[in-house]
Amino acid sequence: MDSNTHSTSLTDSRPTRESAGNATGPADALTALAALVDRLAAQDLCGLSDGVRAERVLVLRRLVDRLEGHWLRELADLDARGAAGADQDQPAASTASWLRAGLRMGPSTASGCVRTARALFRGPLAATARALTNGDISVAHASVVAAGTQELANHVVTEAEPVLVDAARRLDPPRLRRVLAHLRLVADPDGADQARERRHAGRWLRLIPSFEGMVAIDGLLEPEAGQTVLAALEPLVRPTGADDPRSSGQRTADGLCELARRHLEGGRLPQTGGVRPQLTVTVDLDGLLGHPGAVGGELGGMGPLDPEGCRRLACDGAVTRVLVTRVLVTRHRSDGPDLSQQQGRGQERPTARLRAAVALLPPALGGAPTQPLEVGRTSRVVQPAQRTAPAVRDGGCAFPDCDRPPAWCEAHHLRHWLHGGPTDLANLVLLCRAHHRAVREGGWRLARDPDGRLTATPPHQPPHRRPRTAA
């Protein structure tokens, strides 16, 4: 074939008898088809122009859809005859199970193929089946029509099918699915009401803490609830710029966390036990100060939080000081040293260090019992009024090149208040959650020059300035 011209065999997706090797029967046709596929695989594409390459991709996709349509036709015939498993002279339990064993299909894929084949070639969707085998619509379109009409009466499907086939020629599968949803509402309002109740009853959401403290989220929301969540997340999941390194999934995760954080800070959630729900972290002073060997905090019932994460949350949180005494039980064991003798030494064995760390855990996790001696008043590190000044000055996240607004930000102490840093305007900047984490856990260092410019130094690199003049 000339690399710059189109041949008739390229644009016509119906092979002639001559091109099929003068096939005379079903077996001969399959042999000729396999030979044509081998010839296609052996073709050298190097000499083809870009236009020819593009057309070949489109034509091959239509041929694949046509071929799969014929496969569904033969699958429907085999299923009607109950002949699944006849190739092994052993009747199969079902056509779907036979497909799973013979073609290594997944359960849902095999069952879906059988349902689609039955609807197209043994049900009322004859026009849809013809459109598929003729190459007018794709397998995806045919599957949408088959699934969307399975609960409708046959006479309703017969009347609506011409409209659906025409829509399938013009729309992509997601929009065709929406057309079918409207059809069900109009054609079968009672069934639509029942379907709505089934969707409502089928809603669920599960949050499962993992071993590492991550939380796995899985679930299913009914349409209006799902759209409500998507609408609330949409402004929070946009990329911050062309160089935003986060994936779509990471942005969605950050957006969901940001949505929950704003509602917690807004104080509009119902009270539980007389107080508004908030994120609660319990951490020893040694952990906050970063002393060697200190354990992290306890994040409610979700597991541990590393010390650096505790310090990040303490930058802009409400702190309650609780003075406790911890009763350390000294045990003399043959397989380890005396715990009381090991504390304070820098060269103790790993076993002793682990025992010392366990003793510092909350009592519910096997740590030493604690006895509160004094409970101080809860107070916010950064008062609401104090956030106004950095918001006006910084205009949002103060990290260089970040344009997230003040509502997305947390107050950050350039010098942590735990180490004597004052909670005043000169020592405060606003950082979005991503950059707050980058500074606290990621090792970035922030400093404000005498002229008011904020500089950011990457971790493990020589200092260099990326200035941003404070607003």
Q: Using 50, 70 and 90 to split pLDDT, how confident is the model at 212?
A: confident
In a domain, 25, yes or no: no
Residue 354 has a pLDDT of 57
Q: State pLDDT tens for residues 364-398.
A: 445 556 655 555 555 566 777 677 788 888 888 88
Asked whether residue 77 falls in the same domain as residue 189, the answer is yes
How many Å apart are CA 21 and CA 334, to the nearest integer?
85
Asked whether residue 64 falls in the same domain as residue 192, the answer is yes
Phi and psi angles of residue 418, each rounded to the nearest 5 degrees, phi first: -65, -25
Q: Taking the model in full, what pTM does it have?
A: 0.50
CB 143 within 8 A of CB 112: yes
Boundary (domain end) residue, out of 380, 411, 431:
380
Boundary (domain end) residue, out of 199, 219, 241:
199
Residue 24 has a pLDDT of 60
- Provide the token pair at 438: 């980058």
CB 77 within 8 A of CB 129: no
Average pLDDT over residues 136-165: 89
Average pLDDT, the chain: 76
Asked whether residue 134 falls in the same domain as residue 248, the answer is no
For residue 341, pLDDT over 50 is answered with no
Structural domain containing residue 103: 49-199
In a domain, 1, yes or no: no
Residue 448's Cβ-count burial label (10 Å; 0-12, 13-18, 19+) is middle
In a domain, 252, yes or no: yes
The dihedral of CA 429, 430, 433, 434: what is its sign? negative
CB 283 within 8 A of CB 310: yes
Residue 326 has a pLDDT of 61
Region of residue 213 (left: phi > 0; alpha: psi -120 to 50; beta: else): left
Lowest mean pLDDT among 30-44, 240-254, 283-297, 431-445: 283-297
- Provide the token pair at 87: 């190739």
In a domain, 26, yes or no: no
For residue 304, pLDDT over 90 is answered with no
How many Å apart are CA 330 and CA 46, to the nearest integer?
78
How many Å apart are CA 459 and CA 461, to the nearest integer?
6
Q: Using 50, 70 and 90 to split pLDDT, how confident is the model at 70?
A: very high
Residue 232 has a pLDDT of 85
How many Å apart are CA 208 and CA 215, to the nearest integer?
5
Count of domains observed in the chain: 4
In a domain, 209, yes or no: yes
At 89, the amino acid letter reads D
Helix (H, G, I), strand (E, B) or coil at 273: coil
In a domain, 19, yes or no: no
Asked whether residue 57 falls in the same domain as residue 73, the answer is yes
Asked whether residue 370 falls in the same domain as residue 401, the answer is no
Asked whether residue 194 falls in the same domain as residue 285, the answer is no
Lowest mean pLDDT among 62-76, 238-252, 268-282: 268-282
CB 457 within 8 A of CB 463: yes
Asked whether residue 174 falls in the same domain as residue 95, the answer is yes
- Provide the token pair at 311: 């310090």
In a domain, 446, yes or no: yes
Higher pLDDT pick, 442 / 139: 139
Q: State pLDDT tens for residues 409-426.
A: 888 888 887 777 887 788
How many Å apart are CA 137 and CA 340, to the nearest integer?
78
- Give Cβ neighbours of residue 426 (< 8 Å, ≥ 6 apart): 448
Asked whether residue 76 falls in the same domain as residue 167, the answer is yes
Boundary (domain end) residue, out of 171, 199, 227:
199
In a domain, 34, yes or no: no
Asked whether residue 133 falls in the same domain as residue 83, the answer is yes
Long-range contacts of 176-182 (CB under 8 A, 24+ apart): 176/141, 176/144, 176/145, 177/144, 177/148, 180/144, 180/145, 180/148, 180/149, 181/148
CB 386 within 8 A of CB 428: yes
Asked whether residue 190 falls in the same domain as residue 214, the answer is no
Asked whether residue 121 falls in the same domain as residue 248, the answer is no
For residue 227, pLDDT over 70 is answered with yes
Asked whether residue 61 falls in the same domain as residue 175, the answer is yes
